[in-house]
Amino acid sequence: MLSFGLFFPVINAVILLFSSKFGPGFAVTTFKAAFPGALALAVLHLLFGFFVARRRTPVGRALACLIKR
């Protein structure tokens, strides 16, 4: 499963490139531009999951306790 986790940003970068072909006003021209964008989206998704999730995971609960202090 670790190999898929490392390959997941590559898949997201390809999806960003593909979606830029169909989205008006959204342009990603190279894979070099798409890959950092995919990493940024992964970090945003991670943060969103920590702070917005209704059911908190043990890690999310621990972070919530640290933030409340």
pLDDT at residue 33 above 80? yes
- Rounded mean pLDDT, 23-35: 90
End-to-end, the C-alpha distance of the chain in Å comes to 35
- Above 70 in pLDDT, residue 51? yes
Which amino acid is located at 8 in the chain? Answer: F
Q: Is the pTM of this model over 0.85?
A: no
Mean pLDDT for the chain overall? 80
Helix (H, G, I), strand (E, B) or coil at 53: coil
* Closest CA relative to residue 16, chosen from 35, 43, 1, 42: 35
Residues shown for the chain: 69
Percent of the chain at pLDDT exceeding 70: 74
Helices (H), 1-69: 2-22, 31-52, 58-68
